[in-house]
C-alpha cells in the first residue's frame, strides 16, 4: 500500500452517497464492461481509446469537431500509473486504481514506481514556493516589471489562501471565503497562482500543472515530435496520443460533486482542489511569447485518481475526455507545418528571465525567507504585509 495524493484521501475517505454507490457497483462488477480489472478491488479508469489510421486522419477529426472550451494535449506515447492504498473511513478497504499517466512533472518521481509511492512523499503537500523555487528565484532576480508583478500578486494571494487553510484545519469559520481572493472553480487556488504556475511550466520548470493547448495543430506537433524538434519517425509498435478535454463539461462534473455533499469548503479541500484550468494564451508576446505561440494553458489536478473517477463516470454519459491514438510513421511530418521555433520563438523576451542558469538547475535550493524579504522591499510592499509573507515563508506555509 503506497497511498494516494492528499486530495484523493479527502474524497475517498468521505465520498458522497452517489460515489459510494458507484464504487460498490464497480468493485462488485455490477456495471461490468471492459474497464473493471480482473481483481474485484481494482479500478481501471483509463479512458477508452479511439484509434486512427494516421495522424493526418486524427488531425482532421480534431478540426472537424473543434469547439469553444476544448483543450488538447499531444504526447508521443501513452502512459499509465497505478495507485494503491486504504480508503473510505466508514468501512476501510484496499483500493487499487489504474489511471492515465497525465501526471504533472512535479509529481512524476512519485509515480515512477508501481504502485506510486505517495505515502510519506515530501512533495505530496509541498507549499507553493517549494514547487518551483528556481522559477521564483529567476523572477526575483529579473528587472522585468510585468513578470515581477505576476509574482507579487501570486505571493499576496497565495499567502492569504495558505493562512486560511491552516485556520481551516483547526476550526470551521463560516464566511471565511469573503476574506479570500477569488479562487478558480474546483480549487482553493487564486487565479494569479494558477497563471503563475502555468507560465513557469511553459518555460521548462517542473510544476503541479500539465501543459495543454487550444490548437489541434500544436497538439499534433507535440504528439509527433521530440522536444529537440526532431520527428519521432516510424515506430510500428509505438503509438502517439492526443487527449481532448471538454473543459466546461469537466468543470460542471467537478462542481456537481463538490456541491453534492457540501464539500466546497476549506477543511475538506485541504490540499488544493480537484480540477483547475489556467488559460495564458492571451498573455502579450511582448511579455512572454510561448503562451500565445502555443495557444497555451495548463490543467490542474490530473494526478488525482478521484478526478479520473469522475471523468470516467462522466464519459459513460457523454464525451468529456477523449483518448485518440495513432501509429507513428515517417509521414507524420506532413500533419503539421509547425516547427519548434514557431512554438518557442528565439526572440521571446521571457528567455531573458528564464535563462538556462535557472531552467537547467535540477537540484534547486529552497527559497529562503531572507530572499523573499529582499524582493518584497524592492517591490515596496508595506511593512505589515511584508512581515506576514516572510513569516508564512519561514513557517513553510508559502
Does the pTM of the predicted model rise above 0.85? Answer: yes
Pick from 159-163, 167-171, 283-287: least confident: 167-171
- In which band, very low, low, confident or very high, does the pLDDT at 390 lie, cut at 50, 70 and 90? very high
Confidence bin at 122 (pLDDT 50/70/90)? confident
Task: Tell me the per-residue pLDDT of 351-382, one tens digit each, with 9 for 90 and over.
Answer: 999 999 999 887 788 899 999 999 999 999 99
Averaged confidence pLDDT in the chain: 85
Indicate whether 345 pLDDT > 60: yes
Check: CB of residue 133 under 8 Å from CB of residue 367: yes
CA distances from 145 to 30, 33, 68, 148, 285 (A): 58, 55, 32, 5, 15
Q: Do residues 349 and 287 make contact, with C-beta atoms less than 8 angstroms apart?
A: yes
Asked if residue 185 has a cis previous peptide bond (ω within 30° of 0), the answer is no
Higher pLDDT, 17 or 323: 323
| pLDDT tens profile 233-282 | 877 678 999 999 999 999 998 888 877 655 544 444 544 578 899 999 99
Query: CB–CB of 256/278 below 8 Å?
Result: no
Sign of CA pseudo-dihedral 249, 299, 50, 336: positive
Question: Per residue, what are the HEC states of the chain?
Answer: CCECCHHHHHHHHCCCHHHHHHHHHHHCCCCCCCCECCCCCEEECCCCEEECCCHHHHHHHHHHCCCCCEEEEEECCCCEEEEEEEECCCCCEEEEEEEECCCCHHHHHHHCCCCCCCCCCHHHHCCHHHHCHHHHHHHHCCCCHHHHHHHHHHHHHHHHHHHHHHHHHHCCCCCHHHHCCCECCCECCEHHHHHHHHHHHCCCCCCCEEEEECCHHHHHHHHHECCCCCECCCEEEEEEEEEEEEHHHHHHHHHHHHHHCCCCCCCCCCCCECCEEEECCCCCCCCCCHHHHCCEEEEECCCCHHHHHHHHHHHHHCCCEEEEEEEECHHHHHHCCCCHHHHCCCCCHHHHCCCHHHHCCCCCCCCCHHHHHHHHHHCCCCHHHHHHHHHHHHCCCC
Amino acid at each position: 500500500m503506497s497511498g494516494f495524493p492528499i486530495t484523493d484521501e479527502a474524497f475517498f475517505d468521505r465520498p458522497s452517497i452517489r460515489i459510494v454507490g458507484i464504487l460498490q457497483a464497480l468493485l462488485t462488477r455490477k456495471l461490468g464492461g471492459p474497464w473493471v480489472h480482473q481483481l474485484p478491488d481494482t479500478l481501471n479508469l483509463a479512458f477508452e481509446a479511439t484509434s486512427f489510421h494516421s495522424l493526418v486522419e486524427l488531425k482532421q477529426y480534431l478540426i472537424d469537431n473543434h469547439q469553444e472550451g476544448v483543450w488538447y494535449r499531444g504526447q508521443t506515447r501513452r502512459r499509465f500509473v497505478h495507485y494503491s492504498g486504504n480508503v473510505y473511513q466508514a468501512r476501510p478497504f484496499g483500493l487499487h486504481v489504474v489511471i492515465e499517466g497525465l501526471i504533472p512533472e512535479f509529481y512524476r518521481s512519485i509515480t515512477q514506481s508501481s504502485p506510486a509511492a505517495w505515502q510519506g512523499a515530501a512533495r505530496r503537500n509541498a507549499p507553493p514556493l517549494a514547487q518551483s523555487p528556481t522559477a521564483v528565484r529567476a523572477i526575483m532576480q529579473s528587472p522585468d516589471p510585468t513578470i515581477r508583478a505576476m509574482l507579487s500578486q501570486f505571493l499576496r494571494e497565495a499567502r492569504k489562501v495558505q493562512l486560511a487553510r491552516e485556520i481551516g484545519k483547526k476550526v470551521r469559520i463560516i464566511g471565511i471565503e469573503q476574506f479570500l481572493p477569488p479562487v478558480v472553480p474546483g480549487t482553493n487556488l487564486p487565479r494569479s497562482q494558477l497563471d503563475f504556475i502555468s507560465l513557469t511550466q511553459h518555460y521548462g520548470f517542473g510544476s503541479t500543472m500539465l501543459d495543454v493547448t487550444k490548437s489541434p495543430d500544436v497538439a499534433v506537433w507535440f504528439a509527433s515530435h521530440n522536444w529537440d524538434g526532431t520527428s519521432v519517425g516510424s515506430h510500428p509498435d509505438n503509438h502517439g496520443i492526443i487527449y481532448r478535454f471538454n473543459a466546461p463539461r469537466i468543470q460542471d462534473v467537478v462542481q456537481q460533486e463538490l456541491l453534492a455533499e457540501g464539500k466546497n469548503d476549506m477543511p475538506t479541500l485541504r490540499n488544493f482542489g480537484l480540477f483547475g484550468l489556467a488559460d495564458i494564451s492571451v498573455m502579450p508576446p511582448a511579455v512572454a511569447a510561448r503562451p500565445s505561440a502555443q495557444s497555451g494553458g495548463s490543467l490542474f489536478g490530473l494526478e488525482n485518481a478521484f478526478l479520473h473517477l469522475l471523468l470516467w463516470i462522466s464519459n459513460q454519459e457523454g464525451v468529456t475526455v477523449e483518448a485518440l491514438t495513432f501509429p507513428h510513421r515517417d509521414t507524420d511530418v506532413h500533419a503539421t507545418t509547425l516547427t519548434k521555433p514557431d512554438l518557442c520563438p528565439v526572440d521571446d523576451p521571457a528567455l531573458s528571465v528564464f535563462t538556462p542558469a535557472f531552467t537547467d538547475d535540477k537540484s534547486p535550493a529552497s527559497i529562503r525567507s531572507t530572499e523573499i524579504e529582499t524582493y518584497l522591499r524592492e517591490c515596496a510592499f508595506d511593512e505589515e504585509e511584508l512581515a506576514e509573507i516572510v513569516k508564512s515563508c519561514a513557517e513553510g506555509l508559502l
